[in-house]
Amino acid sequence: MKTGILTILLLTGTTVCLAGETEEKEGLRAEVPAEVSAPDTYVKVGETVPDFTVEMFDGRKIRMSDLKGKVVWLNFWATWCPPCRAELKRVPEEVVKRFGGEADFVFLPISRGETREQVEKFREQNGYTFAMGLDPEAQIFGLFAKQGIPRNFIIDRDGKIRVVEIGYTPAGFEELIGRVSELLQK
């Protein structure tokens, strides 16, 4: 019987979570496949970001096309993903506190494939109060990629994708912060 698992890939020093299928009955395992390749990404740097509407945890709805004129940091994550959790721990101080006063900036983290209840429990456990979007059927994520989280997209004021990043490393997170700073100064 096939059982869903969490696979953690080490991809050139970057930690990525993939949801996959296996014949094994383990609930959680880490592996590095013989042929490591980046998970499919459907959008590229320089392209216009796909339009979508996301329901936020607080019930508001945000449409991507309504954010034109702002720098947007779009982040896909899940509560079960260790690299996602490590990345999100940095958000309150290094993203929300640093850029929260910027009228032309939006941090848009979207939980992929999880219920409101799962996200609520995670928020309570971690004391997170920043806005989070819900994508319980992973339909929004499906506009961007097939698999692999955390996944970050930095979008400029014209709605063009300027950065695509898969996985989490401390240095990569610093680079994302730097790119947001650069785009806000333009």
CA within 13 Å, CB half, 39: 25
CA atoms within 13 A on the CB side of 179: 21
Least confident window among 34-38, 95-99, 140-144: 34-38
* Token duo for residue 104: 């032309």
Nearest to 90 by CA among 126, 42, 49, 64: 126
Beta bridge partners of 107: 73
Indicate whether 32 pLDDT > 90: no
The secondary structure of residue 149, as a DSSP letter, is B
Band (127; pLDDT cuts 50, 70, 90):
very high
Q: Return mean pLDDT, the chain.
A: 84
Question: What is the spatial distance between Cα 131 and Cα 106, in angstroms, rounded to a whole number?
Answer: 10
Condensed to tens digits (0 to 9), the pLDDT of residues 13-30 reads 556 776 542 222 233 222
Nearest to 161 by CA among 45, 75, 73, 76: 45
Provide the CB-side half-sphere exposure for 33 (13 A, CA): 12
Q: Which pLDDT does position 186 carry in this prediction? A: 87
Q: What is the DSSP letter of 67?
A: G
Sequence ranges of the domains in the chain:
39-185
What confidence tens digit (pLDDT) does each residue in 60-100 have?
999 999 999 999 999 999 999 999 999 999 999 999 999 98
Interval 151-174: pLDDT, tens: 999 999 999 999 999 999 999 999
Q: What is the CA radius of gyration of the chain?
A: 16
User: The domain 39-185: what is its CATH number?
Assistant: 3.40.30.10
Query: 108: which 2 tokens?
Result: 């848009």
pTM over 0.85: no
The dihedral formed by the CA atoms of 153, 156, 158 and 160, expressed in degrees to the nearest 10: -30
